[in-house]
Amino acid sequence: MGLHDRFSEYRIMWVLVFFDLPTETKKDRKEYAKFRKNLQKDGFTMFQFSIYVRHCPSQKNADVHIKRVKAILPEYGKVGVMCITDKQFSSMELFYGKKMTELPVAGIQLELF
């Protein structure tokens, strides 16, 4: 497998986690914060409120992070996980008001093994 194949926009994946968690009680807010912090510890970054994304070099790597999300699911609320290719992610159009903005550019992730 050549370098181009390893970093193909069809092999590189994005994992999106979107959630709607209760925040009525102090305990709810604590669980919400704990879930967000655990996502961040696993390399997810906030894309929008309650939507976090993580860049993964392959489907196999994405599966590892999806499994980690499933392991930290809170007791209450709704959580969705979706995996899309880098090509699909790059075709997204983002707007702030009526002004279109550029997607953040993900760097090539260094693999040590």
In a domain, 108, yes or no: no
Whether the per-residue pLDDT at 44 is higher than 90: the answer is yes
User: Model's pTM, two decimal places?
Assistant: 0.80
Residue 107's pLDDT band (cuts 50, 70, 90): low
In a domain, 73, yes or no: yes
Q: How far is the C-alpha of 26 from the C-alpha of 22, rounded, in Å?
A: 10
In a domain, 97, yes or no: yes
Q: How far is CA 60 from CA 7, 17, 25, 26, 99, in A?
A: 14, 17, 38, 37, 36
Residue 7's pLDDT band (cuts 50, 70, 90): low
Q: Output the CA torsion 38→92→14→88 (10° steps).
A: 160
In a domain, 111, yes or no: no
Taking alpha carbons only, the member of 1, 19, 7 closest to residue 85 is 7
Q: Residue 74 — φ and ψ, nearest 5°?
A: -70, 160
CB 31 within 8 A of CB 74: yes
In a domain, 80, yes or no: yes
In a domain, 109, yes or no: no
pLDDT attached to residue 104: 63
Q: Write the CATH number for 68.
A: 3.30.70.240
In a domain, 36, yes or no: yes
Whether the per-residue pLDDT at 59 is higher than 90: the answer is yes
Q: Output the CA torsion 18→104→100→91 (10° steps).
A: -70
Taking alpha carbons only, the member of 20, 48, 45 closest to residue 56 is 45
What's the mean pLDDT when you consider all of the chain?
87
**Domain encompassing residue 62:** 3-101
Structural domain count of the chain? 1
CB 69 within 8 A of CB 17: yes
